[in-house]
Chain A
Amino acid sequence: AQSVTQLDSHVSVSEGTPVLLRCNYSSSYSPSLFWYVQHPNKGLQLLLKYTSAATLVKGINGFEAEFKKSETSFHLTKPSAHMSDAAEYFCVVSGGGNQFYFGTGTSLTVIP
């Protein structure tokens, strides 16, 4: 069975400060893990993905995530938040099955 838990439904940071969005996963297989971003009234855009290569994955717009098998985590980080980062972020797990499993999302607010 596979599942994803996003530990925070809402995160608020000041512009220029670091961003941390937390994701834990459960998978019976060697998983693929993804982070997607959704800006208001928009579709989903892929930020980055992990597919069993390097455990530190770099994505677009300065985001990166680290796959930690021992902690079953795939947290998303960015060193310095920008106003344009305000959006909904989804952690997704896939692998060994025929579905992508979405977390419930984390809403990121960036305070000027």
Chain B
Amino acid sequence: NAGVTQTPKFQVLKTGQSMTLQCAQDMNHEYMSWYRQDPGMGLRLIHYSVGAGITDQGEVPNGYNVSRSTTEDFPLRLLSAAPSQTSVYFCASSYSIPQRGGRETQYFGPGTRLLVL
């Protein structure tokens, strides 16, 4: 198993550009999520999905869109990049859905470092 994969590893954007961060997992996990990591703030949840066709907002969703057409893929779209979106983005997945009482570990991808100029 490759686990959770993310592409690209690094990206530089100009303000106003759009792009998609890719995330895929091959573990047949129901639950997938996107976080951003900023210095001194830990990881903050952007969006999450509890299964194909179902997504919801996390703590910091503004400026980002997601979709989940398959179990494996969960892309994150930046509609119009802003310097405030400079961050490291992590995708994660887990087998069971937390609100169903699942205690499963989340598995993280290696991250995408994004710089918005």
A105 to B42, CA, bound (A): 6
A44 touches B42 (CB 8 A): no
Which residues of chain B from 56 to 70 have a CB within 8 Å of any chain A CB? 56, 58-59
A98 touches B90 (CB 8 A): no
Which residues of chain B from 7 to 36 have a CB within 8 Å of any chain A CB? 33, 35
Q: Is the C-beta of A9 less than 8 angstroms from some C-beta in chain B?
A: yes
Q: Which of A11-19, A70-78, A88-96 is the contact stretch?
A: A88-96
Residues of B in contact (CB 8 Å), total: 27
A-B contact count (CB 8 A): 58
Chain A interface extent, by class: 20 to 34
A43 touches B90 (CB 8 A): yes
1/0 per residue A29-48: CB within 8 Å of B?
00010101000001111100
Q: Is the C-beta of A104 less than 8 angstroms from some C-beta in chain B?
A: yes
Known: A32-B103, A49-B103. A9 touches B108 (CB 8 A): no
With beta carbons under 8 angstroms apart, the residue of A42, A99, A104 that contacts B98 is: A99
A98 touches B106 (CB 8 A): no
A34 to B94, CA, bound (A): 14
Instruction: State how many angstroms separate the Cβ of B45 from the closest Cβ of chain A.
Output: 5
Known: A43-B90, A104-B42, A105-B42. A98 touches B48 (CB 8 A): yes
A43 to B108, CA, bound (A): 6
A43 touches B98 (CB 8 A): no
A104 to B44, CA, bound (A): 10
A99 to B103, CA, bound (A): 11
Name B residues whose Cβ lies closer than 8 Å to a Cβ of A: 33, 35, 40-45, 48, 50, 56, 58-59, 90, 92, 97-99, 101, 103, 105-111
